[in-house]
Structure 1
Amino acid sequence: MASIRDVAKHAGVSVATVSRVLNDKGYVHEDTRKKVESSIAELNYRPNEVARSLFNKQSKTLGLILPDIMNPFFPELARAIEDTATKLGYTVILCNTDENEEKAKRYVDVLLQKYVDGIIIASNTIQEKTIRELPVPVVCIDREISKDIPTIVVDNKKGAQMATRFLKEKGRRKIAHIRGPFDLLNANERCEGYRDVVSGEEWFTESYIVNGNYRMDTATEVALELLQKHPDIDGIFAASDTMAIGAMKAAYEHGLKIPEDISIIGFDGIALAQASIPELTTIEQPLYELGQKAAKMLIKLIKGQTVKQTFYQFDVQLVERDST
């Protein structure tokens, strides 16, 4: 395998001249540049990207920290980020934390050692203080840490209100909620939106809210307990599509027909919602647009370009399918 010294010898120039051509830094006469480029092609030379990263302190690489790649929401988000980054000349390193704080810290250290140029974070296990101390630009997505940290989210509360009102408009009288983790702002906002719609109802108590932890299996378990405790429930708003599918499984196990006996609506708009039987009604996030915006914003920050707006809250839309 050819080295940079081989290229320099072949072209009859110094190693420093080859380096200037490779990094496009410093003056090189056009004839000399062409000789170097010709030698690179003839010798099939491939620059050592790690060495170039050390020299430039840039790697054209982004880190992406996700909480759970088993949740279909995050691979879809990652696809949008990766697509956009690739078009702009960057590669993406994916890190799955499993919502483990120590694992998240280790990933941050590894990404910095690899000289990533910036990081997109969709995890609540990395503390605000840690994010502020990072030596590279950061964009948070799906999880708001602070409004003065670049952030991409959706209007969770409005979406939850839309979902719960829609069930009421469908004639559902007692609507339960399967919420996400208590330490996540988006889960709290969706629960708050649900409460806004049902808190004035005579039947409502906190026992109509259960925590599915954004997991399908947990949602199935708590939904079964919910239906046993309140057999008169005829509507469920789940704070994620995966939990809504878990709730659908619980309803079938409980002997209920969907949507005849009970209507179920989710939140996210993942592709899996269309593969369920019946197809799931959902509050759809503009997933691709979210990932695209996060990647473009981060790359602008990396390049030192002016970013006038660093906090984006996208609208959501209700997509009606067979589960309601």
Structure 2
Amino acid sequence: MAEMSTIRDVAKLAEVSVATVSRVLNGNGYVRSDTKERVAAAIKQLNYRPNDVARSLFKGRSKMIALFVPDIMNPFFPELARAVEDMTKQQGFTFVLCNTDDDLTKEMAYLDALKQKSVDGIIIVSSTMTAEYIESFDIPAVALDRIIHSNISSVTVNNREGAKEAVQYLKDIGCQRIAHVAGPEHVSNAKQRLKGYLDVVEKEEWFSSAFIEQGEYHFEGAKKATEALLTKFPEIDGLFVANDLMGVGAIKGAESLGISVPDQLSIISFDGIKLGETTSPALTTMAQPIYKIGARAAEILIHQVEQNESKTLVEEFSVKLIERDSTRKKGENQ
């Protein structure tokens, strides 16, 4: 049986250093294209197969796309994933879902593992990943739901405008004191939603930053935040909550204090996930076109992969107010 070639044999045949071969295999660091070709030819000639990366050098693309989401327990992300999966499958790609908890070390570990599998591209919902890091991987990437960097294509919604509309709606139905359960400070869409809230209430004579509590985009966090707000300011009669998962937590928080929604407190949130239809009362929300944005991100990424094109696209979709039972009807007395 022929003996296995080593990375040294490849380097010798291609007349380059072992480090250069390694760089070509791992796709990190700059290597001139003619050098890359020499290394690839040597690998082929010697049938050197260190791992999946080398194999995919022969096959071309892996036809695999990964989606990074920060919290698989938030139903918003499985709904997004559904759209990405449908679109990738339709185009003949395999779909991989990575749950990162917005933890950079976890994200980096996933990226390293996917690089080994020579993934074709990633769609990434992240507040921790830097553009430099993604670019160093030299993999086509599209940011979804949150903007990572101006060099990276993104698909998002008009978070600030949508939030403004939500808070204005609470005013229009007669709410006098409107508080906000905010998403994490380092998340771009949460920042925008907070700005939208401030756009409407900042100038009110009753307003102070104490009307804002952090809910961290989690059910429990929002329940606690709502309890804290309503205990501190019993006069709060309107609540804008930065996402639907927290909206459910807010309903539970009000309930635990014996405050009736919507009779004493109107709650509006953001996302438009299916869960909001099933809560009691059902959630009034600013609905994102979740399926559309997921499918669009996949479409942009697949185009980048297939056409080898790196044009940066920035697309923003609009949200839509869906009135349900967690807000009072206009003109109803408190």
User: What residue in structure 1 maps to residue 153 of structure 2?
Assistant: 150
Question: Structure 1, residues 196-221: CA drift from partner, whole Å, max 9, x if none?
Answer: 00011110000000110000111001
Q: Is the 8 A contact 1:179 1:191 kept in 2?
A: yes
| 1:216 maps onto 2:193 in alignment | no
Misfit runs of 4+, over 4 Å: 49-52, 305-309
Q: Is the 8 A contact 1:65 1:119 kept in 2?
A: yes
Equivalent of 1:68 in 51, 66, 71: 71
> What is the CA–CA distance in structure 2 between the aligned matches of 1:307 and 1:111, rounded to whole Å?
20
User: What residue in structure 2 maps to residue 9 of structure 1?
Assistant: none
| 1:274 maps onto 2:283 in alignment | no
- Compute the displacement of 1:56 (Å): 2.2
Deviates more, 1:100-109 or 1:50-59: 50-59
| 1:127 maps onto 2:138 in alignment | no
Q: Where in structure 1 are there 5+ consecutive unaligned residues?
A: 1-48
| 1:93 maps onto 2:96 in alignment | yes
| 1:181 maps onto 2:192 in alignment | no
- Compute the displacement of 1:309 (Å): 6.5
Amino acid at match of 1:321: R
Q: Is the 8 A contact 2:140 2:310 kept in 1?
A: no
> What is the CA–CA distance in structure 2 between the aligned matches of 1:107 and 1:267, rounded to whole Å?
29
Q: Is the 8 A contact 1:57 1:115 kept in 2?
A: no
- Compute the displacement of 1:57 (Å): 3.7
Q: Is the 8 A contact 1:52 1:59 kept in 2?
A: no
| 1:113 maps onto 2:116 in alignment | yes
| TM-score for the superposition, normalised by structure 2 | 0.80
- Compute the displacement of 1:247 (Å): 0.5
| 1:304 maps onto 2:307 in alignment | yes
1:1-324 matches, within 5 Å, as 53-304=56-307, 310-324=313-327
- Residue identity over aligned pairs, in percent, reads 46
> What is the CA–CA distance in structure 1 between the aligned matches of 2:218 and 2:175, rounded to whole Å?
25
> What is the CA–CA distance in structure 2 between the aligned matches of 1:208 and 1:113, rounded to whole Å?
48
Deviates more, 1:267-276 or 1:121-130: 121-130
- Compute the displacement of 1:100 (Å): 1.4
Amino acid at match of 2:238: G
> What is the CA–CA distance in structure 2 between the aligned matches of 1:254 and 1:159, rounded to whole Å?
29
The alignment of Structure 1 onto Structure 2 pairs a total of residues equal to 276
Q: Where in structure 2 are there 5+ consecutive unaligned residues?
A: 1-51, 328-334
> What is the CA–CA distance in structure 2 between the aligned matches of 1:104 and 1:307, rounded to whole Å?
22
Q: Is the 8 A contact 1:161 1:194 kept in 2?
A: yes
Q: Indicate the RMSD between aligned Cα atoms, in angstroms.
A: 1.5
Q: Is the 8 A contact 1:148 1:311 kept in 2?
A: no
- Compute the displacement of 1:271 (Å): 0.4
> What is the CA–CA distance in structure 2 between the aligned matches of 1:83 and 1:307, rounded to whole Å?
23
- Compute the displacement of 1:175 (Å): 0.4
Question: Structure 1, residues 4-32: CA drift from partner, whole Å, max 9, x if none?
Answer: xxxxxxxxxxxxxxxxxxxxxxxxxxxxx
Question: Structure 1, residues 236-283: CA drift from partner, whole Å, max 9, x if none?
Answer: 000000111100001111111111100000100000000100110000
Q: Is the 8 A contact 2:151 2:312 kept in 1?
A: no
Secondary structure of residue in 1 paired with 2:127: coil
Amino acid at match of 2:152: I
Amino acid at match of 1:245: V
